[in-house]
């Protein structure tokens, strides 16, 4: 079996922490590892080998993925964003052509930004669902609702047990593999439902026959090809091409989610209820569920101090956040944004992001720290005619050979040894030493040591945006 990790999403519900250029899957929310890294580690514990994992992302996130998952060699980049159905189809084609999989191979689809535990119990569900998928079913995993959530899609299962609402296999060998903790009923899907309003979500919660759609699926290659043939012929036809041809013509595929394309229409869907902890970190309100709370019900990260504050989520970055007399509030502080909201209203973050997009605000696109394949930089200050950055270059890495038409740069080394090329001359710059790059002069910065190089870069000029770069050589194909 093979695992497809979908890591191309640019979710906005965790703004301002999540930005379009650095979305949720790369964030380290509940520990020292990103959600993407946690997803891979989970799958490597008794479920898949590293050679059985295929990560599907887009070209904007390619270097983020490679930096986070260095041991994974199967990383596919969508030529452009076309939603999950074309992305999964590209993964299917890669498995067949690139990995030599037969049509009997079972594929799993996993989002890259969920929290699931415990791992050993999740592995039991995966191994069991493989058996189900081998019999021609498309398996989805359902989560029993805990609250009237409006941010999730739902799956309704059949209410009539006598008419097959609960499926059973006659194969005793399959039944014998179930552990007492699994209690895995296979539920027949009646229909998929889009994200409901709050009143409808409350009805679903009370009804008892609705599950949250986890976004995880399992199917054999043969089954998904047959269902694409039936419901989405344009995507099925693309699978007749070679992988390179399919990638070249990727923009010709319909832009549609796997839910709309197959799951809402197929008659071969079954649900396995997951009786373990699951959280898709879909909103700020869901963050509290994975982080510890103090005696007043507050979830606090960063430098915080509170008086008479209860049931609040306070997420700080660099400055002290002090609160007095607050209750049921959300406060999120980053280098460049402060978000304050009533708890329960965080679903409106998407609306705020849309307003900022219409205003062409930079805060929607990227944080003050921007990651690059060679390291990262943080904007410390900026104003008319100047910008100050902290730049970190990892060992063995270097920036492109480049020029700027509208700005000069002054570099001061804080830590490490930098090899600097300016106008064809190379010098080593050590701590507390500096180098100056005039406008339009060919230059390059490289880490010449064994530890990260940290520099302060001061830019001066009439135009200081990142598109004032002309690259002549680049190790990363940009």
Share of the chain above pLDDT 70, in %: 94
d(CA 366, CA 363): 6
CB atoms within 10 A of CB 329: 18
pLDDT above 90 for 310: yes
Q: What's the distance, CA 352 to chain centroid?
A: 21
CATH of segment(s) 369-473: 2.60.120.10
Q: Which two tokens stand for residue 111?
A: 């989002």
The two beta strands, 166-167 and 138-143, are unpaired
Q: Which two tokens stand for residue 118?
A: 């415990």
Q: By C-alpha distance, which of 259, 289, 265 is closest to 111?
A: 259
Dihedral, CA atoms, 281, 287, 292, 294, nearest 10 degrees?
Answer: -170
The two beta strands, 115-117 and 138-143, are unpaired
pLDDT above 50 for 170: no
pLDDT of residue 188: 79
**Cβ contacts of residue 433 below 8 Å, gap of 6+?**
412, 413
CB atoms within 10 A of CB 144: 13
**pLDDT tens sequence across 256-269:** 999 899 988 998 88
**pLDDT tens sequence across 33-87:** 999 999 999 999 988 999 999 999 988 888 889 888 989 999 999 988 889 999 9
**pLDDT tens sequence across 6-39:** 998 877 788 998 888 888 899 888 888 999 999 9
**pLDDT tens sequence across 135-168:** 888 999 998 888 887 777 888 887 655 444 444 4
CB atoms within 10 A of CB 181: 11
pLDDT of residue 345: 82
pLDDT of residue 362: 85
Which residues are bridge partners to 210 per DSSP? 156
DSSP 346: G
d(CA 446, CA 400): 9
CATH of segment(s) 2-282: 3.90.550.10
Question: 17 to each of 142, 371, 388, how far by Cα in Å?
Answer: 28, 14, 22
More confident residue, 405 or 284: 405
Q: Which alpha helices (DSSP H) does 150-249 contain, by range?
A: 172-176, 198-207, 221-231, 233-238, 243-248
More confident residue, 429 or 366: 429
Using only the alpha carbons of the chain, give its radius of gyration.
Answer: 25
pLDDT of residue 275: 87
The two beta strands, 375-383 and 369-372, are antiparallel
Beta-sheet strands, E only, within 128-236: 138-143, 154-157, 166-167, 186-193, 210-220
CB atoms within 10 A of CB 415: 15
DSSP letters along 352-419, please? HHHHHHHTT-HHHH--SEEEETTEEEEEEEEETTEEEEEEEE-TT-BPPEEE-SSEEEEEEEEES-EE
Q: pLDDT-based confidence at 186, cuts 50/70/90?
A: confident
Cβ-based burial of 146 (10 A; exposed 0-12, middle 13-18, buried ≥19) = exposed
d(CA 94, CA 243): 6
pLDDT of residue 169: 41
Domain boundaries, the chain: 2-282, 285-348, 369-473
């Amino acid at each position: 079996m093979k695992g497809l990790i979908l890591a191309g999403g640019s979710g906005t519900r965790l703004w301002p922490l999540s930005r379009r250029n650095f979305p949720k899957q790369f964030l380290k929310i509940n520990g020292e590892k990103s959600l993407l890294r946690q997803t891979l580690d989970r799958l490597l514990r008794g479920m898949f080998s590293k050679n059985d994992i295929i990560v599907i992302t887009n070209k904007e996130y390619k270097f983020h993925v490679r930096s986070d998952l260095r041991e994974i060699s199967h990383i596919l980049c969508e030529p452009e964003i076309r939603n999950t159905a074309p992305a999964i189809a590209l993964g299917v084609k890669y498995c067949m052509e690139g990995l030599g999989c037969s049509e009997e191979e079972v594929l799993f689809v996993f989002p890259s930004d969920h929290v699931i535990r415990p791992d050993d119990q999740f592995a039991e569900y995966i191994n069991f669902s493989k058996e189900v998928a081998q019999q021609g079913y498309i398996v989805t995993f359902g989560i029993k609702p805990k609250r009237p959530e409006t941010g999730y899609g739902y799956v309704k299962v059949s209410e009539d047990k006598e008419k097959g609402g609960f499926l059973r296999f006659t194969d005793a060998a399959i039944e014998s593999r179930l552990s007492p903790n699994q209690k895995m009923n296979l539920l027949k899907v009646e229909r998929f439902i889009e994200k409901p309003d709050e009143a409808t979500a409350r009805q679903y919660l009370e009804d008892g026959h609705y599950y949250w759609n986890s976004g995880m699926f399992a199917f054999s290659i043969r089954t998904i090809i047959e269902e694409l043939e039936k419901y989405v012929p344009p995507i099925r036809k693309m699978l007749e091409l070679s992988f390179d041809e399919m990638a070249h013509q990727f923009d010709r595929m319909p832009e549609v989610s796997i839910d709309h394309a197959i799951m809402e229409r197929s008659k071969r869907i079954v649900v396995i209820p997951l009786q373990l902890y699951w959280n898709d970190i879909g909103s700020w309100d869901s963050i509290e569920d994975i982080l510890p709370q103090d005696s007043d019900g507050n979830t606090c990260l960063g430098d915080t101090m509170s008086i008479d504050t209860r049931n609040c989520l306070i997420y700080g970055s660099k400055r002290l956040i002090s609160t007095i007399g607050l209750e049921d509030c959300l406060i999120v502080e980053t280098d460049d944004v402060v978000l304050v909201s009533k708890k329960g209203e965080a679903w409106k973050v998407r609306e705020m992001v849309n307003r900022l997009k219409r205003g062409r605000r930079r805060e929607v696109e990227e944080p003050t720290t921007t990651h690059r394949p060679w390291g990262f930089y943080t904007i410390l200050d900026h104003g008319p005619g100047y910008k100050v950055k902290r730049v970190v270059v990892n060992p063995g890495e270097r920036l492109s050979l480049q020029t700027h038409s509208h700005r000069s740069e002054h570099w001061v080394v804080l830590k490490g040894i930098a090899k600097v090329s300016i106008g064809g001359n190379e010098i080593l710059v050590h701590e507390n030493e500096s180098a100056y790059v005039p406008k339009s002069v060919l230059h390059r910065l490289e880490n010449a040591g064994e530890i990260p190089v940290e520099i302060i870069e001061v830019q001066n000029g009439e135009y200081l945006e990142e598109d004032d770069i002309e690259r002549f050589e680049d190790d990363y194909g940009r």
